[in-house]
Amino acid sequence: MALFFMSKKEYLINWIREISEIRPELGGFAVCPYAKSAFYEIIECCVENLRPVDGYDVIIFIVDDELCLEEIQKWVEFYNDKYKNWKFFEDCATYDTFVNGIKTNNGKYNLILAQPKEKLLKFRVKLAKTEYYSNWDDDYLKEILEDDYKLLESWDSNPIKSSDLPNQEKK
């Protein structure tokens, strides 16, 4: 089906497949190595009405199209302050992000993603023991990891290979 005729949810499911694909440009990792196996929910709602729901690895909120990056970032900050056990991230339709030349954002819809902090930390600890983050621009890495940036100090001389991480989608 052409992307033009897909529903928002279908488009995002396709994006999840894309960011789950193993990429040689990323050292054999997917943009998001755990996306394929994540238990997720896609919810379309007004940005004022976001509420995380327990039991998911990630909740993808499709929010108002007319919001600019700065407005979405302010809402993300608001929700990060409000829900201390969750981590919220923006994915703005008008702001493309890349890791080693590979586009990471969906590029079409304004999204706010919510992940339980405890689960997110477990995934980050596993990835920090690999070379996954070596392809990331340091500024983008600091923006995404924030306080968890210190995990990168755990890199060692014998990192886990990308092929040792389960659930990546082979291209």
Structure confidence at residue 158 (pLDDT): 47
Measure the CA–CA gap between 51 and 33, rounded to whole angstroms. 25
Residue 128 lies in a domain: no
Residue 44 lies in a domain: yes
Residue 127 lies in a domain: no
Q: Which of 73, 67, 71 is nearest to 93 (CA)?
A: 67
Task: Give the range of the structural domain holding residue 89, as residue numbers without chain letter.
Answer: 3-117
Write the pLDDT tens digit of every residue in 127-165: 998 999 998 988 888 889 988 888 887 655 445 555 555
Residue 161 lies in a domain: no
Measure the CA–CA gap between 34 and 121, rounded to whole angstroms. 13
Q: Is 48 buried (19+), middle (13-18) or exposed (0-12) by CB count in 10 A?
A: exposed
Mean pLDDT over residues 40-55, rounded? Answer: 96
For the chain, the domain total comes to: 1
Structure confidence at residue 153 (pLDDT): 72
Residue 12 lies in a domain: yes
Structure confidence at residue 157 (pLDDT): 46
Mean pLDDT of the chain: 89
Give yes or no for residue 77 having a pLDDT over 60: yes
Question: What are the strands, taking DSSP E only, across the chain?
Answer: 22-23, 29-30, 40-44, 58-62, 86-91, 98-99, 102-103, 111-116
